[in-house]
Amino acid sequence: MLCLVAYFLPAIVIGNYVCKLSDLVDLLQFSFSQAVPMSCPLHFAANLSWLFPELEKLSHRIKAAAQAGFKAVEVAWPYDTEVTELKQALEKNGVDLILINTPPGNKAKGELGLGALPMQEAEFRAGLDLAVKYAKTVGCKQIHLMAGRVPVGLDRTSVAKAMEATFIENLKYAADILSKEGLLGLVEPINTRITDPRYFLNTPHQAVRILQQVDRPNLKLQLDLFHCQIMDGNLTQNITNYFPLIGHVQIAQVPNRNEADSPGEISYSYIFSLLEKLGYQGYVGCEYTPKGNTVDGLGWLRSYWGNQGTKKLAGRAECQ
């Protein structure tokens, strides 16, 4: 209405210029559109290593995720499922697999990734080859390159330099391999206060420092906000400052690692709004332990999806 009225109003003088009020309205509208960034609706992926634990087979979890409304899933280690079977399950249910991990190594020896383990470069490369094979076959575009744990019996400070140097060299090698296939590599800090006291990569600051030393455009930060909150907090500044390096986000409530709306330290309504305003267009992985039935615990996500539908009806533009 303001725009229509303005065209019937007289011109005004500003300094040495004659300006129609309608021109001022257009200018103000343009300025406002530039000052307020477009919010991007978030896209969520079900982490099938955590969700739907009531179903044993991965193919059944994929079906359940699709029925719950997910268009994307992530799986830590899909290697117990034959790759063609995995591909068929994804295609049958219309779901994309958007993230897998490199193999953990020898679980009997307590290994959880090999990227930073000196003298195990050959094992890391073999695991990377397997991950790339799975990713290419099913169309997965992201691989989490697991750093691994400080070996049992060794002090972290005594091996930190050697492990960092090994990780940097392995990441450079992985980045070159992944680049040829059009894939993105991710590194994830895992907290050492609650989850894994011996994990080598444990803060976003450490991860970013290593990424900067590797300096490859197809390596990014996998920011699990559960781990970040436990190790550092300061989520607003960490997300904002490291945003250009963030390739993937994961969520769970702190401290019990349950649904986003369960009691805890993180206000995910605020976090989602922040990610929207920053224009985050990657996926948000739901990596948490359901308090009960997985579907019953997705009320928070159904509310988010419903709110986005309301915004669409109101004419709010979406990010492409």
Is 133 within 8 Å of 106 (Cβ atoms)?
no
Contacts of 249 (CB under 8 A, 6+ apart): 222, 223, 224, 225, 275, 280, 282, 283, 284, 285
Name the token pair of 115: 């990227």
Is 227 within 8 Å of 191 (Cβ atoms)?
yes
Calculate the alpha carbon distances from 204 to 45, 176, 240, 254 in Å. 22, 23, 12, 17
Four-CA torsion 260, 261, 262, 266, nearest 10 degrees: 60
Q: Is 123 a catalytic residue?
A: no
Q: How many Å apart are CA 12 and CA 6, to the nearest integer?
A: 12
Question: Which uninterrupted H or E stretch holds 192?
Answer: none
Q: Is 318 a catalytic residue?
A: no
Annotated catalytic residue: which of 82, 188, 259, 276?
Answer: 188
Contacts of 307 (CB under 8 A, 6+ apart): none
Residue 78: cis peptide before it, omega within 30 degrees of 0: no
Annotated catalytic residue: which of 74, 111, 164, 287?
Answer: 287
Contacts of 145 (CB under 8 A, 6+ apart): 102, 113, 115, 128, 170, 171, 174, 185, 186, 187, 219
Catalytic machinery residues: 188, 287
